Amino acid sequence: MLEKSIFPLGDRACLVTFRPEISPAVQRKVSSLEKRLKEKGMAGIVETVPAYCSLAVYYDPLSLSYDEMLFLLEKILEDDEGVAPTEDDHVRVVEIPTLYGNDCGPDLIDVARHCGLTPEEVIERHRSRDYLVYFIGFTPGFPYLGGMDKRLKTPRLEDPRLNIPAGSVGIAGEQTGIYPVDSPGGWRIIGRTPVPLYQPVKNPPTLLEAGDYVRFVQVEREVYHRLEEEVRRGSWKPRVELRRRVEVETTLA
C-alpha cells in the first residue's frame, strides 16, 4: 500500500489518504495538509473533512478542475514531506469534567467486572491519560478518541439502549467516547459530563476539533451540578491547556 494517494470521492470531492493506521503521526499529517490547504485559500474548494488517515477535499467542479486541485494537493504534500513537529508546536488539551458511576455511569460496574478491575481502578485508568481527538464525525460534535488503556476494552452492549443522554462517556471495544447529543447506542456508559460538546449557535459549533486532546477530570456530584448550572446560565467556559505537542506525544508513546 502506498504511503499516500489521492482519488475521487464522486465528482465533487477527492480523498487524500495516508498510511492506513490510527496513529498520532498520521493524524498530524492529515491536520497539516488541512491547515496548509486552508492557508492557500484556493477558490473553488468548498470544505475539508479529516478522518483517521484521510482528508476529504470538497470542491465545486464549476470553478475548479480536478487537475488543478490535484496539482495543488501534490505540491503541498511534497513540501510537507518529513516535516516534524517543531519545539513551539502546541496542542489544546480540553478538560472534560466527568461524574463517574451510579446513575451517570450505569455500566461502570459491568465494565469493572469484565476487565477484572474494581470500579475505582477503571476510573483511575480512564482519567489518567490524555486522548487524541482524531476527528469529529458520526453525529455533530462526536469525537473519535484514540489511546484508551487496553485493559479497559469491553464489548458493546448486546442490546443497545434507545436513548443515551447527551454528555454520556462510554466505552466500546478499544474506544472511548462522549455522546454530544441524546441518541440511541450500544456503548457501555461509565460516566457523564455536564459540558456541551455541540452548540449549533456557537462558532465553532463543537467543543472539540480534530487534533485536540481530551482529559477526563473526575468531579463529585456538587461540582457536576454547579457546572450544569453554569452551562445553563451561559457563563461556563471550557478549561483548555496549551501543551507542547512533542511532550504530549512522548507521553503517549
Partner 1 sequence: MRSPLLRIVQGGLLTTVQDKGRYGYQRYGVPVSGAMDSWSLKVANILIGNGESCAGLEITVLGPRIEFCRDTFVSICGGDLSPLLDGEPMPMWQGLKVRRGQLLSFGGRVSGCRAYLAVAGGIDVPEVMGSRSTFLRGATGGFGGRALKDGDVLYGGETQAAARLLKLNPDFRPDLDRKEWELRVIMGPQDHYFTGEALEVFLSEHFTVSLNSDRMGIRLEGRVLEYKDGADILSEAVAFGSVQVPAHGRPIVLMAESQTTGGYAKIANVVTVDHSFAAQCMPGDKIRFSSVTLEFAHRLVHERETGLRRGLVIVDH
Q: For residue 245, report the phi and psi dihedrals to the nearest 5 degrees.
A: -55, -40
Burial zone of 2 (CB within 10 Å; 0-12 exposed, 13-18 middle, 19+ buried):
exposed
Measured from the CB of residue 165, what is the shortest distance to partner 1 in angstroms? Answer: 15
- Per the structure block, which three cell numbers stand in for 220? 463529585
**Which member of 118, 128, 139, 163 binds partner 1 (CB under 8 A)?**
139
Q: What does the block give as the cell for 26?
A: 498520521
Confirm or reject binding of residue 15 to partner 1 (CB under 8 A).
yes
Maximum distance among all Cα pairs of the chain, rounded to whole angstroms? 60
Question: Closest approach of Cβ 240 to partner 1, in Å?
Answer: 17
Interface mask toward partner 1 for 167-186; x: CB under 8 A:
-------------xx-----
Least distance CB 230 / partner 1 (angstroms): 23
Q: Which of residues 200-229 bind partner 1 (CB under 8 A)?
A: 200-201, 203-206, 209-210
Distances (CA, A) of 206 to 180, 237, 242: 9, 13, 18
Judged by CB under 8 A, the chain residues 73 through 132 that form the site for partner 1 are none
Nearer to partner 1, 2 or 84 (CB): 2
Residues 143/136, Cβ–Cβ less than 8 Å: yes
Bridge-based pairing of strands 175-178 and 45-50 is unpaired
Q: Answer yes or no: are the C-beta atoms of 6 and 15 closer than 8 Å.
A: yes
Choose between 47 and 241: whose C-beta lies nearer to partner 1: 47
Q: Any bridge partners for residue 56, and if so which?
A: 15, 49
Please check whether residue 169 is in contact with residue 131, taking contact to mean a CB–CB distance below 8 angstroms.
no
Binding mask 30-49 for partner 1 (x = CB under 8 A): ----------------xxxx
> Near partner 1 by CB under 8 A, which window of 57-65, 76-84, 90-98, 224-232?
57-65
Of 1 and 253, the one with the shorter C-beta distance to partner 1 is 1
Interface with partner 1 (CB under 8 A): 7-13, 15, 17, 20-22, 46-54, 56, 58, 61-62, 65-66, 135-142, 144, 180-181, 198, 200-201, 203-206, 209-210
